[in-house]
Amino acid sequence: MGALKEVRTKFSQAKVKEILSDYRLAVESREASLIGRKEVFMGKAKFGIFGDGKEVAQIAMSKVFRKGDFRAGYYRDQTFMFAIGELTVQQYFAQLYAHTSVEADPASAGRLMNGHYATRFLDDTGKLKDLTQLKNSSADISPTAGQMPRLLGLAYASKLFRDNAGLHSLSNLSENGNEIAFGTIGNASTSEGMFLEAINAAGVLQVPMLTSIWDDDYGISVPQEYHTTKGSISKALAGLQRTATEKGFEIITVNGWDYPALIDAYMRAEKICRDEHVPVLFHVREMTQPQGHSTSGSHERYKTKERLAWEVEFDCIKKMREWIINDVLILPEEIDAIEKEAKQSARQAKERAWKAFMDDVRKDQRLVASILETAKDESARSEEISRIRGALVRAINPTRLETMRAAKQAARLMVGESTPSREALIQWLKDAETDNFDRYSSHMISVSEESALNVIAVDPIYTDQSPLVDGREILQACFDAALSRDPRVLAFGEDVGKIGDVNQGFAGLQAKHGELRVTDTGIRECTIVGQGIGTALRGLKPIAEIQYLDYFIYALPTLSDDLACLYYRTKGGQKAPLIVRTRGHRLEGVWHAGSQIGMLLHSLRGMFIISPRNMTQAAGFYNTMLKSDDPCVIIECLNGYRLKERLPDNIGEFTIPLGVPEILREGTDVTIVTYGSMCRVVMEAAEALEEMKISCEVIDVQTLLPFDINNVILESVKKTSRVVFADEDVPGGATSFMMQQVLENQNAYPYLDSKPVTITAKEHRPAYASDGDYFSKPNPEEVYEAVYFLMSEANPERYPKLY
C-alpha cells in the first residue's frame, strides 16, 4: 500500500485529470477517423484521409502551441486541431461531407477534401483580426511538402517582428516576434525538394520554425529505404545540428507512442525555438497508420504480417492506455468508461453534421419538388415531369446536382409553355445560379474595400524640374518612398540587398533602410515565394523578387497551389497580399528573355498579372498594389532599365488602375493589342505603316489579369473592324487568351471585317544575341508585314503584295 501511495504522488489530481482528458481526445479523434472511413464506403462522402496513429504526438505538440503561434501542416493533423480548440468533431465531419457553409466548415466552406485545416484570419470586412489573440492555422494544401515554403515565411515574420523596431507598434500582429511557426510533414515527403530547401533556408535565417515529422516508415506503399538516406531523416540531416560554435538546427527524436517523453521533448523544443529563435527538427519515429494512406486503398496489400502485427502492438493509443493503467494507476474500468464516452461523442457529432448538411441540401430539393408538383398539373408533359419529380424525391441522399438536373430537365420539357410553374422554375434556376456561384466559385480575388480594383487612380505629376533619368532610377525612387512611408514594406530576393538587385532598382536602399527591410537571399525561388506568403499572411507587405521570369518555373507550384488559390480555398478567410517582382521579355538567350505569360495565365488565376511597358508604369502599379490586399505578379521589361523616362514629382503617390488599357496611338484601320516590351516594337511598326496610309490604333492592355474591364478594346474594334494581338509568348499562349477575352467575352466578333490575327514569338525559346532575338521574337518588320497583309487581303488594289 505504501508503494502504491508513493507512485500516485508522482501525479497531482490536476495532472491526472489532464492526462485522462488527453486520452479521451485521442480516442475521440481515432473514432472520428474510423467513422469517416465508413461514411466514405457508404457513399456519404467522396474521399477520406485521416490522422489515425498520430494522435498522441499531436496532443503533445498542442501543449506548447500558444495564442499568436502559426501552423503550416498537412492533412493528418486533425487531433492537433481538436486539441488547440480550432476544430470541432462536427466541423471535421462537415468538411468530409463538403458542407458549403463557412459556419459548418470554417476552414474552406466545403471547397477542400477532408483533412485540410485553416482558421479564419479575417473578419467579415476582410480586415485582419488580432492574430496575437488567436491560435492560427494557415490554410492547408494537398501537394506533399507544399506547406514548407509558407512555413518558412511564417517563421521569418517572427524574426522581423523581433528584430525590426519599426514593427514593434503592430501589437495586433505580433508580440515582438515571440511566435513559433509549427510545421508538420510526413516522413516520405521529406524527400521533396521543397522540404530540403525550406529546412536549409530556416537554418541560414535562424527563425523559430518547429518542424515535426510524423514517421510511420512508409510513403503510401513505398517503404522508408526508398525515401531517405540512412532510413532516417534525423540521421540524414545530422549535419544541421548546431554546436557550441556553429549555428544550425536543434534536432530532437522521440517515439510517437511515448506520451510522457513526447510531452517533455516538446516542452524542450518550444523553449529553444521561442526564446532563442533556433529552428527545431522534431523527428517522431515509430508511428503507425492503422487505416493505411486513405480510403483509396488498403495497406494490407503492401505491409508484411509482421509489420501489421507491430503496428497493432505499438499503436499510440494502446500504449498510452497501458501507461495510464501501469504508471498513473487508473483502473481499466475507468479507462473503458472514458473510451465509451469518447466514441459516443464522435458518433453524435457525425449525426449532427450529417443532419445539418442534409437539411441544407434538402431546402432546394423540397422547393423544386414543390414546383414540379404544380408543373405536372399545368404542363402538357405531365407524365414525364411526374417521373422527374419522383426520382428527385426518392433520392436517399440527394445532392445539389440532382436537384439542378431535375430542374433543368423539367424546364426543357416545358419549353414554349407559359405557366406559373415554368416561371417559378426559371426563377429558381436563376437564384440557384447565384447561390451556387457563391458556394463554389466566389472569392477568386478580394471582395474587401482594400481590393486593388478599388484603389483610386492618381495621375503622375510632372513639372519643368522633373528630371530625365534611367528607368531603374524611377523604380529606385518608388521603392525608397514605399519603404519610407510604411514599416510593413520589405523586399528580398537574390542580389536584392547589398548590390540593390541585378538592375539596380534597389540600389542603396539596404544601406538606407537596413538589412531587414532590403534583404539578400540564397538561390531558392520556391522559398523566396514562401517567405513572401508567410510574411504577407502575418500582415506585412512583402515584395519577393524572382530574378528572371524564366525562373518562375521553380516557384510555380507554390504560387499556383498555395498563393493564387488561398483566398478562394478559404472563402475569404485568409489573404496574402504578396507582390512578386520579376523581369522578362527581351534580353539575351534561352533563360533570360522569358515571356511565358500563357503559363502564368493558366496557373495563377486568383493573382493579378501586370506587365507594364516601362518603369513609370511599373512604379504606378507597385503603388497601387501596396495599397491593396490582393497578390500579384509584376513583370518589368528587361530592356527598359536604362531607357530614359521622366521622374514624376509624386513618385510614391501616383497609382494606375488595374484592368484599364491605355491607347498609345489612335487609328482607324487596325486595332493592335499588346503589352510590355512589345509596345515599343508595335509603335515602331505603326509609325512605318502610317507612311503607307494604314492607320493603326495601338492599345497597351497593361494588365492581363484583370483584362480590360471597361471594354476599351471592343470600342476600338467597333471603329477599325480589324484586330491584331501581338506579344512575345509562344503561339497559342497569351495572344489566344487575349483573343478569347475580346472576341468571346467582349463579343467583338460581329464587328470584324477580317479574321483576327496573332503575332507571337517562335515556338522555341529565344536564341542568343541580337540576331537571335530578332529571329526568335516579333520584330517591327514582322508586325509591319502582318498588318499590311491583313489590309492587302481586304483591299488588294490599294495594298498590293509586298513580296
469-479 pLDDT, tens digit each: 999 999 999 99
State how far the Cα of 265 lies from the Cα of 294, in Å rounded to an integer. Answer: 29
CA separation (Å) from 203 to 155, 164, 209?
Answer: 11, 20, 9
pLDDT value, residue 2: 41
482 CB contacts (<8 Å, ≥6 apart)? Answer: 489, 622, 623, 626, 652
pLDDT value, residue 649: 97
Helix (H) or strand (E) holding 602: helix 597-603
Q: How many other CB atoms sit within 10 Å of the CB of residue 795?
A: 10
pLDDT value, residue 9: 52
455 — alpha (psi -120 to 50), left (phi > 0) or beta? beta
State how far the Cα of 50 lies from the Cα of 37, in Å rounded to an integer. Answer: 8
- Single-letter amino acid, residue 152: L
Report whether 566 contacts 139 (CB < 8 A).
yes
Q: Find, among 133, 153, 282, the residue nearest to 205 by Cα.
A: 153
Cα-atom radius of gyration of the chain, to the nearest Å?
A: 30
pTM more than 0.85:
yes
pLDDT value, residue 621: 98
Q: Quickly list H helices, 292-441.
A: 305-313, 316-323, 332-378, 382-394, 400-413, 420-440
- Single-letter amino acid, residue 355: K
Report whether 630 contacts 657 (CB < 8 A).
no
- Of 28, 473, 525, 728, the active-site residue reads 525
126-162 pLDDT, tens digit each: 999 999 999 999 999 999 999 999 999 999 999 999 9
Q: Find, among 496, 488, 512, the residue nearest to 627 by Cα.
A: 488
Cell of 796: 488588294
Q: Find, among 683, 739, 677, the residue nearest to 714 by Cα.
A: 739
Q: 3-state class of 199 per DSSP? A: helix
Preceding omega of 223 cis (within 30 degrees of 0): no
Distance of alpha carbon 463 from the chain centroid: 43
Q: Find, among 548, 599, 591, the residue nearest to 729 by Cα.
A: 599
- Of 31, 86, 592, 645, the active-site residue reads 592
Annotation marks residue 525 as catalytic:
yes
Residue count (the chain): 803
pLDDT value, residue 694: 97
Cell of 628: 491593396
Per-block average pLDDT, block size 10, for the chain (803 residues)?
Answer: 49 94 98 95 92 97 98 97 98 97 97 97 96 98 96 98 97 97 96 97 98 94 92 95 96 98 98 98 96 85 92 97 96 97 98 97 96 94 96 93 96 95 96 97 96 97 96 98 98 97 96 98 98 98 97 96 98 98 89 92 98 98 98 96 97 98 98 98 98 97 98 98 97 97 97 97 93 94 97 94 89
- Single-letter amino acid, residue 712: V
Q: Report the b/e string of 430-441 with b at 16+ CB within 10 A.
A: eebeeebeebee
Q: 3-state class of 209 per DSSP? A: strand
State how far the Cα of 128 lies from the Cα of 45, in Å rounded to an integer. Answer: 33
